[in-house]
Structure 1
Amino acid sequence: MSRLPRVLAAVAALGLLTACTTIPGTPVGLRQEQRGPVGAVPAGLERFYGQAIAWGSCESFATTTEQHLAFTKRGIECGRATMPLDYDDPRGRTVSLALLRRPATDQQHRIGSLLINPGGPGASGIEAAAQLGSLLRDSEVAERFDLIGFDPRGVGASEPQVRCLTDEEWDAERLDSDLDTSPEGIAQTEAEEKDYARKCAERTGKDVLSHVGTRDVVRDMDALRSALGDEKLSYVGYSYGTRIGTAYAETFPQNVRAMVLDGAVAPEENKLAQSQAQGQGFKKAFDAFVEWCVGRGKCALGNDPAAAEPRLKELIEPLKKEPRQLGDRKLSFTDAVTAVVQALYSEQLWTVLDTGIADLANGGGRTLLFLADTYLGRDSDGHYSTRNDAFRAIRCVDDPPVTDRDLLREADRKAREVLGEDSVFIAGEPAGVLDACAFWSVPHTSEPHQPKADGLPPLLVISTTGDPATPYQAGVDLARALNASLLTFDGNQHTVFLQGQQCVDERGTRYLVDLKTPEDGARC
């Protein structure tokens, strides 16, 4: 989660194929392996569950400048898995999922594969696995598991991609703040949202958009589990990745070995409730940032915590009328707000945010523009990843659209009541404006609900007290719903596992390796 307001028919017991088999005739530079099928295999899907995967260089999988650098590192390999676009028509069109693997460093004591999803929705799992693999090189997790990142269908290097806007259109979109509250302005904003939905349908295809949601992703994960040679799934999901994990647990409870769900998305909340909780979460994170900043004795927002948000508002308000020219780029009002949100995801970015605010006050703005670019997936060459297009497409099929303008106006009223009339964290589109999902070309395939998954093994949910994007209580509620163990982290950041917090990492590692959950009430 990252954006503010704007069953089974048959079992194949083919244990003889669990060992890795090399396929003759593999193209030069690739090493083709067949480890499946393993475990439960739904009737009609045998070729997907038992498919061979060709592993080789990751260089051709890079879709951004940053990935080109990350994917040249030693010790990683990439491949592709084929899945049916529509699981009700397994003989029809297929999609190709991009995979990245860092093999377990202790193959003799290897437990299996550990699938990783970084959230979004729309974030690249292969990029996340490459980054984590470098950080965890000497860890027990890296010793005992093949780290597997996958770009979900429609995302990143998977094919086909969800693509709605060109790079030039994204640049233009960022300069159009859509803050006109007149009837004409609201009509124009809605027309732009409708046009966005049209472009997504034309450029991606309705058939693809119909099948990019979580419902289909979890079926891909189960086929991957088998193709990778694992009878049971081991999984780490961050943020929206917790929704994927929860849906998998509901759909395939008998196939779960272990799951770490970090930064839970509240599965029963609709988009309006999630948006309101996020607004409050980012306001809480901003207050923590201000306390830290003022405590340093020199803060770009001054020395009075009560005056910090009004001062920030004062600095960015002029950008509504005229974006700031920065060479051949411009910093818009929405970019400035996006930059603040990006920096509030982690305490590690607080110094950068303070520098950016000081830069803005002194007539600059490049630091904030950099933060906004990072959030929106724009690289140094001006190329945008598909992350934000995929984000909207997946959200539009994962949840029912909001088409009642009165509900939107009421949500805006409540947000202003809680956060304050002039809060930076309700700086979205005018109240009552329908978003692109209201005009989406295909129906939604999931909806919020209280999860129920009988027969699960013990799971681990990690929730951070000061998480701005997925508030702490959502993790408490998810752990209760799944009868999972809850590990609380006292901190101000979005997700924490395998990110250098020793207390959390040790307990999570013991769970993944030994299936030992932390004690009740555990905190780090």
Structure 2
Amino acid sequence: MAATAGLGLTGLGLGATSASATTGTSGAFHPASLAWHTCQADILNGAKAYDSVGPVQVSKIIQCAELQVPLDYAHPDGQKITLELTRLPHQGSGAAKGDILVNPGGPGGEGALFGASVYARNSAPMQAAYNVIGFDPRGVGFSTPKLTCDVDYSNAPRPEYGTGGRQDDATWLEKSKNYADACARKFGRGAKVDLLDHIKTIDSVHDMDTIRQALGHQKLDYYGASYGTYLGQVYATVFGQNVGRMVLDGNVTPKNVWYDAQLTQDVAFNKNMDYYFGWIAKYDSTYHLGTTQAAVRSYYYALQDKLAAHPLTYTSGGNTVAVGEDELVDNIQNAAYRRSQAVWNSYAAALSAYKAGDVATFAGTFGAPTTGGSDDNTFAVYNAVQCSDTQWPTSWNKWHADAVRVNRTNPFLTWSNVWFNAPCLFWGAKAGTPVKVGQSKNLPSNILMFQATDDAATPYAGALELHKVLRGSHLVVQDGDRTHCIVHRGDLRPGGVDSYFDAYFLNGTLPKADTVHVSQLGDPTPPAATQSGQAGTRTR
């Protein structure tokens, strides 16, 4: 998966925990009860971002707790690590209907604050009924230890992604190996905490069941988005008898764990970016980048080639940022993730600003710092999980041949995706074997899935495959939508996406049909300020 979108696709390895995985138990470990308390300042400040989303100020009610879990569930009395949990309490009188555990995906997505996001976007009846429980998975965010490998890895401009040339390949293969080696030195075998051998999906699935126990529940209610759907489907396979109500949104297919998943993404992202170029052309009177999809596409790729050869640097207030090919691709790909006025306009306006000579706005939108490093936690965890969940191809010749083939017709993301995943060629942890999702006598039959037909990150075909594997599941499809994860995206219409979500959690009501289709919301239009000639004023 690509870097800035925050969505990874990772597999699941059993490794040393295969015995407990197949029996659906977490071994002999019994967690302590959770002691909820006021959150640390960083979490409170993060929660403030969602205070204006709904009527409840989530930063005023959010609570935190720490949960110790075994590093290795095969040795429950051995070394422990700590997960950070958050709790957003229900607003109704009396006891809550339940606790919904939530996960935003990644792997590497911060789940503690995702709890605040989900709660803020829940309807008033959902806020009245349910507590929402967020958690940072092992290695992530506020959990300890926090996995970081090389904070300077993303200093801009990075080497151009290229298209498979000998020099580009050599540069990126060396960079990828150095990153994998840095991770192994800090968190591999022989380190104080051998996290790399114990950060597979199955480890987090066991953590989820430990959270269930710590909450004092016989059943786990769960909402997972993106890679969080893979956590959910594996949990339902391994701990099916412990599933209460489960919603999976933007569904990862277990079929392509995990090398082939990036190749299907390359095709889907290219399709959605072409659609976006057509949208920009439709509003040429606003953006002035071309009156046809082909013209906008040509402008974009010419700019990408220009920045690959000559990255742009910009200094303001003593801070210097750069925009090369990589930084442009990593940012603008977010337009292929979701149908959003703010996202679509901001990138189109920044491209328009560059064409008009406004370098400040362009650099403010697409630029990344040239020095000082960054928090590489999301990228580190992404690789740590996916590279050890399952064995990736070990031959660079295969990677190269597949990328060249796909890139011929789908050039937008292909080589970006290759280099984002390339540390897996050199990863310093033993790969596991994926759980066979759905192959369990305890598989629940009440799982509710949500999916957009033109989701690029988790393509629709994969959701249909998962729907078959999860026998008895129901699927809500938003036709023609390009948004990755469709719950809480503003579809409040009667019979709309969020009405199915609420009916399920509040009443246990599943759609009457096995699969129901919901019409898409309309494409955004440029905001009035931009249409009146104020494009190019946005800075990041």
TM-score bracket for the superposition, by shorter chain length: 0.7 to 0.9
* SS at 1:489 equivalent: strand
Aligned partner of 2:105: which letter? G
Closer/same/farther in 2, CA of residues 466 and 185 from structure 1, 3 Å limit: closer
| Match of residue 405, structure 2, among 392, 399, 414 | 414
Q: Tell me how far 1:481 sits from its aligned partner.
A: 0.7
Q: Tell me how far 1:381 sits from its aligned partner.
A: 9.6
| Match of residue 119, structure 1, among 101, 105, 108 | 105
Q: Which residue of 2 aligns with 1:54?
A: 35
Q: Which has the higher contact order (CA 8 A, sep 6+)?
A: 2
CA distance in structure 2 between the partners assigned to 1:284 and 1:182 by the alignment: 24
Q: Which residue of 2 aligns with 1:224?
A: 211
Q: Which residue of 2 aligns with 1:33?
A: none
Aligned partner of 1:84: which letter? P
Closer/same/farther in 2, CA of residues 399 and 486 from structure 1, 3 Å limit: same
| Match of residue 97, structure 1, among 52, 68, 83 | 83
Are residue 344 (structure 1) and residue 336 (structure 2) matched? yes
Closer/same/farther in 2, CA of residues 133 and 341 from structure 1, 3 Å limit: same
* CA offsets 1:73-129 (integer angstroms, 9 cap, x no match): 111111111100000111111110011110111252522110110001101011111
CA distance in structure 2 between the partners assigned to 1:452 and 1:408 by the alignment: 30
CA distance in structure 2 between the partners assigned to 1:384 and 1:363 by the alignment: 32
Q: Tell me how far 1:54 sits from its aligned partner.
A: 1.9
Task: Indicate conservation of the 8 Å contact 2:391/2:431, yes or no.
Answer: yes
Q: Which residue of 1 aligns with 2:321?
A: 329
Task: Indicate conservation of the 8 Å contact 1:180/1:430, yes or no.
Answer: no
Q: Which residue of 2 aligns with 1:443?
A: 430
| Match of residue 254, structure 2, among 262, 267, 274 | 267
* SS at 1:128 equivalent: helix
Task: Indicate conservation of the 8 Å contact 1:100/1:129, yes or no.
Answer: yes
| Match of residue 83, structure 1, among 66, 69, 72 | 69
Q: Which residue of 2 aligns with 1:22?
A: none
Are residue 318 (structure 1) and residue 303 (structure 2) matched? no
Are residue 362 (structure 1) and residue 349 (structure 2) matched? no
CA distance in structure 2 between the partners assigned to 1:186 and 1:43 by the alignment: 45
Are residue 494 (structure 1) and residue 484 (structure 2) matched? yes
Are residue 201 (structure 1) and residue 189 (structure 2) matched? no
Say which is worse superposed, 401-410 or 330-339, in terms of deviation.
401-410
Q: Which residue of 2 aligns with 1:24?
A: none
Q: Tell me how far 1:399 sits from its aligned partner.
A: 2.5
Say which is worse superposed, 450-459 or 65-74, in terms of deviation.
65-74
CA distance in structure 2 between the partners assigned to 1:434 and 1:392 by the alignment: 7
Q: Which residue of 2 aligns with 1:387?
A: 378
Aligned partner of 2:308: which letter? K
CA distance in structure 1 between the partners assigned to 2:483 and 2:261 by the alignment: 17
CA distance in structure 2 between the partners assigned to 1:350 and 1:42 by the alignment: 45
* SS at 2:162 equivalent: coil
Are residue 485 (structure 1) and residue 500 (structure 2) matched? no
Q: Which residue of 2 aligns with 1:210?
A: 197
* SS at 2:141 equivalent: coil
* SS at 1:175 equivalent: coil
* CA offsets 1:448-493 (integer angstroms, 9 cap, x no match): 7554233313101111012121111211111111021010012121
CA distance in structure 2 between the partners assigned to 1:183 and 1:399 by the alignment: 28
Q: Which residue of 1 aligns with 2:388?
A: 397
Task: Indicate conservation of the 8 Å contact 2:389/2:432, yes or no.
Answer: yes
CA distance in structure 2 between the partners assigned to 1:372 and 1:8 by the alignment: 46
Task: Indicate conservation of the 8 Å contact 2:26/2:206, yes or no.
Answer: no
Task: Indicate conservation of the 8 Å contact 2:234/2:437, yes or no.
Answer: no
Q: Which residue of 2 aligns with 1:176?
A: 159
* SS at 1:163 equivalent: coil
* SS at 2:146 equivalent: coil
Are residue 142 (structure 1) and residue 135 (structure 2) matched? no
* SS at 2:307 equivalent: helix
Aligned partner of 1:469: which letter? A
CA distance in structure 2 between the partners assigned to 1:429 and 1:42 by the alignment: 35
Are residue 164 (structure 1) and residue 149 (structure 2) matched? yes
Closer/same/farther in 2, CA of residues 195 and 277 from structure 1, 3 Å limit: same
Q: Which residue of 2 aligns with 1:20?
A: none
Task: Indicate conservation of the 8 Å contact 2:154/2:374, yes or no.
Answer: no
Q: Tell me how far 1:266 sits from its aligned partner.
A: 1.3
CA distance in structure 2 between the partners assigned to 1:453 and 1:366 by the alignment: 56
TM-score where L is the length of structure 2 = 0.82
* CA offsets 1:199-226 (integer angstroms, 9 cap, x no match): 1112234411111111100000001011
* SS at 1:268 equivalent: helix
Closer/same/farther in 2, CA of residues 286 and 42 from structure 1, 3 Å limit: closer
Task: Indicate conservation of the 8 Å contact 2:164/2:404, yes or no.
Answer: no
Aligned partner of 2:29: which letter? L
Q: Tell me how far 1:385 sits from its aligned partner.
A: 5.4
CA distance in structure 2 between the partners assigned to 1:2 and 1:178 by the alignment: 12
Give the unaligned 5+ runs of structure 1. 12-39
Q: Which residue of 2 aligns with 1:31?
A: none
Task: Indicate conservation of the 8 Å contact 1:175/1:323, yes or no.
Answer: no
| Identity value in percent | 26
Give the unaligned 5+ runs of structure 2. 10-18, 52-57, 519-540
Q: Tell me how far 1:132 sits from its aligned partner.
A: 2.2
| Match of residue 517, structure 2, among 488, 511, 523 | 523
Are residue 151 (structure 1) and residue 131 (structure 2) matched? no
Say which is worse superposed, 363-372 or 318-327, in terms of deviation.
363-372
CA distance in structure 2 between the partners assigned to 1:185 and 1:286 by the alignment: 24
* SS at 2:269 equivalent: helix
Closer/same/farther in 2, CA of residues 371 and 145 from structure 1, 3 Å limit: farther
Alignment of 1:366-381 (within 5 A): none
Aligned partner of 1:240: which letter? Y
Closer/same/farther in 2, CA of residues 381 and 73 from structure 1, 3 Å limit: farther
Closer/same/farther in 2, CA of residues 216 and 485 from structure 1, 3 Å limit: same
TM-score where L is the length of structure 1 = 0.84
Q: Which residue of 1 aligns with 2:94?
A: 108
